[in-house]
């Protein structure tokens, strides 16, 4: 699933291409919204809120979430798409650009005044203009018995972190993802680190948490099960963690560097 930095870059690119432009084509390929036609309306802006994308167009908002496979592409009119047309869930075109949303996990059109119905539950957005570390701290501290690896993925605490950052933050702080929040030292420092790391990757196409962009060395533990830890050489382990079996996600950790 794309992390908040990926969604932020998508929103920035879409906003740069489409903000202030009049929609000439609005093709929503989801049955519930297939009759919606915003052509003739002006795109006011495209913004990200955590992992959510909001196209604000007139009095309406097109809300999308990439989930695991989704992505938004920008093309010049007449340019061949890089993904199959049957995967397109939304096609929005202006005179100069065509924005195509492929395999979007969530796509809906709602009145702009009701955006809070879909993003109002989110915690402070790590890459948002009103990032609030103090509020994130209050939300993190609210459930000290919860495993830290679950808390870091909870978008109600901080919006924007995904599985990559969950694994990397835990190893950087030297804690197993299963360790209860209440047993993790310096929550404020953890939140500051989360903000610093995702902010450092906001403008990068190749995400790195090690500072090294060479293949195989961009992460400390994520995706490296069975490989030696870049710090101590111990084999990286993997497991799963979730609030329930249907929500489990793979975890990666170093059994020597984390406890």
- Around 184, how many Cα atoms within 13 Å sit in the side-chain half-sphere? 31
Q: Nearest to residue 247, comparing CAs of 145, 149, 119?
A: 149
Paired tokens of 73: 């592409």
φ/ψ region of 174 (left if φ > 0, alpha if ψ in -120 to 50, else beta) reads left
Q: How far is CA 138 from CA 80, 157, 173, in A?
A: 48, 9, 19
The residue from 51, 124, 147, 168 that is catalytic is 51
Active site residue 67: no
How far apart CA 7 and CA 102 sit, in angstroms, is 14
Length of the chain: 259
How far apart CA 96 and CA 16 sit, in angstroms, is 12
Active site residue 51: yes
Q: Nearest to residue 104, comparing CAs of 137, 70, 134?
A: 70
The residue from 2, 124, 147, 177 that is catalytic is 2
Paired tokens of 101: 């949303």
Active site residue 227: no
According to DSSP, residue 67 is labeled T
Pair 38, 26: CB distance under 8 Å = yes
The residues assigned a catalytic role are 2-3, 51
């Amino acid at each position: 699933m794309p992390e908040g930095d990926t969604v932020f870059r998508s929103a920035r690119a879409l906003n740069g291409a489409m903000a202030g432009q009049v929609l000439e084509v609005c093709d929503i390929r989801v049955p519930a919204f297939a009759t919606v036609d915003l052509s003739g309306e002006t795109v006011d802006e495209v913004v990200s809120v955590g992992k959510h994308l909001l196209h604000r167009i007139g009095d309406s908002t097109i809300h999308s979430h990439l989930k695991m496979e989704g992505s938004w592409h920008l093309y010049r009119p007449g340019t061949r798409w890089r993904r199959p047309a049957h995967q397109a869930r939304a096609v929005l075109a202006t005179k100069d650009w065509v924005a195509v949303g492929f395999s979007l996990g969530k796509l809906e059109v709602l009145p702009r005044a009701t955006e809070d119905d879909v993003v109002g539950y989110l915690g402070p957005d790590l890459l948002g203009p009103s990032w609030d570390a103090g509020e994130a701290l209050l939300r993190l501290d609210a459930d000290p018995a919860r495993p830290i690896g679950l808390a870091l993925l909870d978008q109600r605490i901080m919006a924007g972190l995904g599985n990559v950052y969950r694994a990397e933050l835990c190893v950087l702080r030297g804690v197993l993802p299963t360790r209860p929040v209440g047993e993790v030292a310096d929550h404020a420092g953890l939140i500051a680190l989360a903000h610093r790391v995702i902010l450092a990757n906001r403008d990068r196409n190749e995400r790195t948490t090690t500072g090294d962009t060479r293949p195989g060395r961009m992460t400390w533990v994520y995706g490296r099960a069975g490989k030696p830890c870049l710090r101590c050489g111990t084999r990286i382990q993997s497991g799963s963690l979730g609030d329930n079996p249907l929500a489990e996600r793979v975890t990666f950790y170093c059994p020597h560097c984390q406890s």
